[in-house]
Amino acid sequence: MRKRPLAIGAALAAVLLLGLGALYVWDSSRDDVIAKGVHVGGVDIGGLQAQAARNKLQRQLLVSLNRPVIARYHQRSFTLTPAQAHVTVNVSAAVDEALKRSRKGSIFTRVGRTVFGDSLNIRLKPVVSYSKRAVKQLVRHIDKTISRSPRDATVQPSARTLRKVRGRDGIVVERRPLRGAIRRLLTNAGGNRTITVLTRRVAPKVTTAQLARKFASYIVIRRQAFELRYYRHLKLAHTYPIAVGRQGLETPAGLYSIQGKEVNPSWHVPNSSWAGKLAGTTIPPGPKDPIKARWMGFNGGAGIHGTEDVGSLGSAASHGCIRMSIPDVITLYKHVSVGTPVYVA
């Protein structure tokens, strides 16, 4: 009687071993089958054998990745093609990772998943390679095309007025975020491949509202009218009669600035033929010095100074300098600092 239970036990053990063996053989036969619910770059490769999965990824994944990345800024667009970026995808590595994930767990887990039709819900990102240099070159090109320095507000002088010229904001491309966005699109197999170039604005250092404070003093010399206009905070404060350079020694037109100031200056005679024996000499303050009271130099040797020859005012009589009456030049001197613009019209 004791032999019968032993026989039954042995039989059950044999059946169990045969069953386990069959399970092992069946599981081993699926070593290259990817579990359901596995996606690579949005492509479903669940239930496929490795080679079939590679073929499917080659067809669908590469088609998706072989679309250009487009960066837009208003009406401008900048394109980086996969060929320019040297985009490649390691399909075999993606399939190997999918198989590895599929084989995780025990044999019973895998068998149970198959029997009950469970899915893993695994979404893998493909290993995509690209040229970082190509991305940097594109971003540099975008930056060079779009970015601009801010332009300060300024003053445009003329013979009759001072016109305010509005400043302009600068534009700076946010290069680091742009590089990151381009890299993400190059490695992302799906979705939109167009991005907007992010920029930030840089305000000018001098705005229109600040011009009056910046230009506390401004001088405009009207040669034809023989007058000097003094502007205080861009508003005409006073007009003075002057003498300008005679024919052949005209006061040069252009925009200059006060380069130096001096009280009771000496006359450093220019080394020119018209100066005769005095050429290159220095005449100290006194009766022989034609430069009286004050000196405000601009344009190298030219300057604004006082004169006792008030009869010359209102004419072209000097050797290139601007002559004023002594009281007028003393008054102007008090209001003018080094750097004050001088516009000769």
Picking from 164, 139, 143, the residue whose alpha carbon sits closest to that of residue 153 is 164
Q: Which of 86, 319, 321, 335 is catalytic?
A: 321
39, 305, 319, 335: which is the annotated catalytic residue? 305
Can you read off the two tokens belonging to residue 35? 């579990």
Q: What are the distances in angstroms from CA 125 to CA 39, 76, 288?
A: 8, 31, 92
Give dist(CA 132, CA 76) in Å, integer.
23
For the chain, the straight-line distance linking the first and the last C-alpha, in angstroms and rounded, comes to 134
**CA dihedral over 27, 30, 32, 38, signed as positive or negative:** negative
DSSP states of 253-317: PEEEE--EEEES--EE--SSGGGGGGTT-EEPSSTT--SEEEEEE-STT-EEEEES-GGGTTSEE
Residue where the block lists tokens 């067809």: 59
CA distance 245 to 291: 14
Q: What does the alpha-carbon distance between residue 60 and residue 302 come to, in Å, rounded to a whole number?
A: 78
Cα distances from 102 to residues 28, 43, 46, 118, in angstroms, run 13, 16, 9, 12
Active site residue 233: no
Kindly report each contact of residues 17-25 with a partner whose C-beta sits within 8 Å and lies 24 or more positions away, as own/partner.
Answer: 23/107, 23/111, 24/107
Contact call for residues 176 and 143 (beta carbons, < 8 A): no
Spatial distance between the Cα atoms of 325 and 243, rounded to a whole number of angstroms: 10
Asked if 254 and 299 count as a contact pair (C-beta separation under 8 A), the reply is: yes
**321 is an active site residue:** yes
Distance of CA 252 to the CA centre of its chain: 40
| Active site members | 305, 321
